[in-house]
């Protein structure tokens, strides 16, 4: 359930032509593949910017709960949460 809603939202945004980001890869049961910054094997989502311009995801949200769509806000200390053109971003799901 962790990534289903997020995947649905990204696919919907891209399908209707409002976005240029796609889910590129999902690791829903990371037991020994890649460690996060805390040296834990957390689940993760990799998103890809298919467009030719930078996308800012600052203040977008992730959730694994359809009743609370604003569960995790994507934000940074600089006010920018950007993916450059043809760039990738891994989001760790350790906070869910």
Question: In whole angstroms, what is the distance from residue 36 CA to residue 61 CA?
Answer: 20
The pLDDT, as a whole number, for residue 31 is: 86
**Cβ pair 64, 28 in contact under 8 A:** no
pLDDT tens digits for range 15-69: 444 568 888 888 888 888 888 888 888 888 898 999 999 988 888 887 778 898 8
3-class DSSP state for residue 95?
coil
pLDDT band at 80 (very low <50, low <70, confident <90, very high): confident
């Amino acid at each position: 359930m962790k990534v289903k809603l997020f995947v649905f939202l990204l696919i919907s945004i891209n399908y209707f032509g409002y976005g240029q980001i796609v889910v590129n890869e999902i690791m829903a049961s990371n037991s020994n593949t890649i460690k996060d910054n805390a040296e834990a094997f957390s689940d993760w989502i990799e998103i890809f910017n298919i467009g030719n311009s930078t996308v800012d995801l600052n203040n977008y949200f992730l959730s694994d709960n359809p009743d609370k769509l604003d569960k995790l806000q994507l934000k940074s200390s600089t006010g920018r949460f950007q993916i450059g053109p043809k760039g990738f971003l891994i989001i760790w799901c350790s906070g869910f």
